[in-house]
Amino acid sequence: METTLQVTIDCADPRRLVAFWAEALGYVPEPPPGGHATWCEYWVAMGVPEEEFFDGAGEESESVVDPAGVGPRVWFQQVSEVKAGKNRVHLDLKVGGGREVPLAVRVERVTAKVAGLVAAGASVLRVMDEPGMGHYGVVLQDPEGNEFCVV
């Protein structure tokens, strides 16, 4: 039996996070399954009662997918409660190239990615650059406060 991975992120506004994470990951909004004009139409056809949808839920994509079909699907599940506390699981966006790449090059790559993410709505929490460790990374929050790292 094959196992696949989907990452699910609870949020208040799936559309906002779809736009942000599509940009962050180089993913695309997932189109509704064949024959359905919207995700709402698909969910209703699957038997999900319309009263279970939040305002506007299902009209636009609530997930992003890797256009190359390699990375996991990321679904943004709309919930009514707000985020409270630190994430127990977070995503690492690996753009630096690893320790075999000179530190100065990794810093340049991470810094460029962080600048784009901040322009897309992220906020920087802290920079991880302890002297002598040969590591550089930045901890950020997405537009709803979910922590992630760029390394």
| pLDDT tens digits, one per residue of 20-75 | 999 999 999 999 888 898 888 888 888 888 777 655 555 667 899 999 999 999 99
By CB atoms closer than 10 A (0-12, 13-18, 19+), residue 150 is buried
The DSSP letter of residue 96 is: S
pLDDT at 34: 85
* pLDDT value, residue 57: 56
Query: In which residue are the tokens 């909004």 written?
Result: 29
pLDDT at 104: 95
- Determine the average pLDDT of the residues in 67-93: 90
Rounded to two decimals, the pTM is: 0.85
Q: Write a three-state SS string for 46-72.
A: CCCCHHHCCCCCCCCCCEEECCCCCCC
